[in-house]
């Protein structure tokens, strides 16, 4: 009965019975022509390219945020505001320049987050599963680390005198953030407790330790990953009775305590919950370490608003602290759990994570200026996620397609995965989704191939850019091009020659009138 009613409703929406499910103004060609002309005029203003030097750099990385995820998140954002959704604009949609990034790793057609992070942070393509090392390093082989280290744009910015920060919804030593500071041949070496004994004995360092030792004065660090900072079996401050959250360090070091001791005279603060974070006065904080969970932060749909900060709240605090530096800042922001939602086949969780990251992008835009801040939004890779099925305008993004399969005569949701945990057969046939709550937060969308975890996708991902030199992100590029553009815009790292030349040219230009006057005077006297 439920499926019959759903199908009737879908067909009514599809056919419309003469009442289309979209605003009446859209029936008037003037509406579309006016919109297009307004967009055209905005495009013409881009001829005046922003070639300022970028004082600040912000990279928003949606982990696993492929183009289908961007489109679906756009629709969800609109539907959360009681609109049909398709016409909604994400904050990143308003960025004036868009490119495509080729995401493959040096040894993988379909990228993993670690190798991809090394590309978009260190400017060098690398092997899957490795962070902050070149492709000469081999995953899990400790002896291939030394001599193959590569540095990141976060380090380039720090060495240029800028403040630097990392904000993530995953562990702060997860694949994406770790490429900003670590050199490790295995992305899973979160602490020495996850490393092979021979790798520790050979002198390789775990990623948590490198967070504090490689670039010791990272100004802002926020995310999860508490358990990797504390001695093995030490109970967690928030979950004292849960062994899965106990410390993991075999070396018995307390990295948080060490950080506190080292930073005690530097206006530094360690916080582990939202209340402590929001009670800080950013004007009196120069260094911040915020570890809000033993592992990853919870999905935004499941977040405890009293104890866990949102991505937007973390970004706001980070920018307030970092922007005090007159030399500017570099900030890496990762919406990391978009990826996790997709791996679990939980599209609702993934898309709400993407909408929250878009909210953080908008908030960062309000706190900075397009004239001196280059902001880039991209993804490390895509996923085997898509949606379709000839759904009508305004169809809930988590809803059914308006037809039955003409093969098994069963309904199907618009959102589907190419592979993953949503594959299920009942009595030899595809499960009937009308018997399930397919709009429930943790519903696992059906997949074509059964896997315990859904996989990444191999297609190009979008790169959105605004601010100084944003026009240099155009067309189709290798993923490792991204940090080179950002460094060029900010005159840091190896991209400083053009800044010195332009500075010299400016000085010469300013001196020319005086030089001309001097030559005239000499001629008169002689």
- Whether residue 183 is annotated as binding a ligand: the answer is no
- Whether residue 381 is annotated as binding a ligand: the answer is yes
190, 207 Cβ separation under 8 angstroms: yes
Give SS3 for 77.
helix
Task: From 486, 485, 491, 518, select the one nearest 503 (Cα to Cα).
Answer: 491
- Whether residue 334 is annotated as binding a ligand: the answer is yes
Tokens of 51: 């070639």
CA distance 345 to 328: 40
- Whether residue 363 is annotated as binding a ligand: the answer is no
69, 351 Cβ separation under 8 angstroms: yes
CA distance 115 to 102: 13
175, 113 Cβ separation under 8 angstroms: yes
Question: Quick one: 161 exposed, middle or buried, by C-beta within 10 A (0-12, 13-18, 19+)?
Answer: exposed
Q: Can you say how many angstroms the Cα of residue 444 is from the centroid of all Cα atoms in its chain?
A: 23
Choice among 10, 101, 113, 447 that is catalytic: 113
Residue 220 DSSP one-character state: E
The H-or-E segment that residue 277 falls in is helix 274-278
Active site residue 434: no
Helix orientation angle between 347-367 and 67-80, rounded to the nearest 10 degrees: 80
The H-or-E segment that residue 247 falls in is none
Q: Other CB atoms closer than 10 Å to residue 505's CB: what's the count?
A: 10
User: Taken in order 145, 116, 499, 162, is the CA torsion positive or negative?
Assistant: negative
Helix orientation angle between 347-367 and 311-322, rounded to the nearest 10 degrees: 30
- Whether residue 63 is annotated as binding a ligand: the answer is yes
- Whether residue 176 is annotated as binding a ligand: the answer is yes
Distances (CA, A) of 368 to 50, 52, 154, 219, 378: 15, 15, 19, 18, 19
- Whether residue 380 is annotated as binding a ligand: the answer is yes
CA distance 432 to 425: 9
- Whether residue 372 is annotated as binding a ligand: the answer is no
Q: Residues marked as binding for Mg(2+)?
A: 63, 174, 176, 334
Q: Residues marked as binding?
A: 63, 174, 176, 334, 339, 343, 380-381, 456
Q: Residues marked as binding for Zn(2+)?
A: 63, 339, 343, 380-381, 456
Q: Please list the active-site residues.
A: 113
């Amino acid at each position: 009965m439920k499926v019959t009613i759903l199908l009737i409703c879908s067909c009514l929406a599809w056919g419309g019975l003469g009442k289309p499910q979209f605003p009446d103004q859209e029936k008037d060609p003037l509406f579309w022509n006016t919109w297009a002309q307004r967009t055209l005029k905005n495009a013409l203003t881009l001829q005046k390219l922003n070639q300022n030097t970028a004082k600040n750099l912000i990279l928003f990385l949606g982990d696993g945020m492929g183009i289908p995820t961007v489109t679906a998140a756009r629709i969800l954002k609109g539907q959360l505001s009681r609109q049909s959704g398709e016409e909604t604009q994400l904050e990143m949609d308003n960025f004036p320049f868009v490119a495509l990034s080729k995401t493959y790793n040096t040894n993988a057609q379909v990228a993993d987050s670690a190798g991809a992070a090394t590309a978009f942070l260190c400017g060098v393509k690398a092997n899957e599963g490795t962070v902050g090392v070149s492709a000469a390093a081999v995953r899990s082989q400790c002896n291939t680390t030394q001599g193959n280290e590569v540095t990141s744009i976060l380090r380039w910015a720090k060495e240029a005198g800028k403040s630097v920060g990392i904000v993530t919804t995953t562990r702060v030593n997860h694949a994406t953030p770790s490429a900003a500071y670590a050199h490790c041949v295995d992305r899973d070496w979160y602490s020495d407790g996850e490393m092979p004994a021979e790798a520790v004995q050979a002198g390789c360092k775990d990623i948590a330790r490198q967070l504090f030792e490689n670039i010791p004065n990272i100004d802002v660090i926020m995310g999860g990953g508490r358990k990797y900072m504390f001695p093995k079996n030490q109970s967690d401050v928030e979950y004292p009775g849960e062994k899965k959250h106990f410390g993991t360090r075999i070396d018995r070091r307390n990295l948080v305590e060490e950080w506190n001791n080292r930073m005690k005279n530097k206006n530094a603060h360690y916080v582990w919950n939202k209340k402590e974070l929001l009670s800080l006065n950013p004007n009196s904080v120069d260094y911040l370490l915020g570890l809000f969970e033993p592992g990853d932060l919870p999905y935004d749909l499941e977040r405890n608003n009293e104890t866990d900060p949102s991505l937007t709240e973390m970004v706001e605090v980070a920018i307030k602290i970092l922007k005090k530096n007159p030399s500017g800042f570099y900030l890496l922001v990762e919406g990391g759990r978009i990826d996790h939602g997709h791996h679990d086949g939980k599209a609702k969780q993934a898309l709400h994570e993407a909408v929250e990251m878009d909210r953080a992008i908008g908030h960062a835009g309000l706190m900075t200026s397009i004239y001196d801040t280059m902001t880039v939004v991209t993804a490390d890779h895509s996923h085997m996620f898509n949606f379709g099925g000839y759904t009508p305008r305004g169809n809930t993004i988590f809803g059914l397609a308006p037809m039955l399969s003409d093969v098994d005569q069963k309904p199907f949701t618009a959102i589907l995965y190419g592979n993953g945990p949503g594959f299920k057969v009942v009595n030899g046939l595809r499960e009937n989704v009308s018997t399930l709550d397919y709009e429930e937060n943790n519903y696992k969308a059906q997949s074509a191939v059964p896997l315990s975890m859904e996989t990444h996708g191999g297609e190009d991902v979008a790169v959105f850019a605004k601010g100084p030199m944003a026009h240099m992100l155009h067309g189709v590029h290798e993923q490792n091009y991204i940090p080179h553009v950002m460094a060029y815009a900010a005159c840091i790292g190896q991209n400083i020659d053009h800044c010195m030349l332009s500075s010299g040219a400016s000085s010469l230009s300013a001196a020319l009138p005086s030089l001309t006057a001097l030559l005239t005077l000499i001629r008169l006297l002689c």
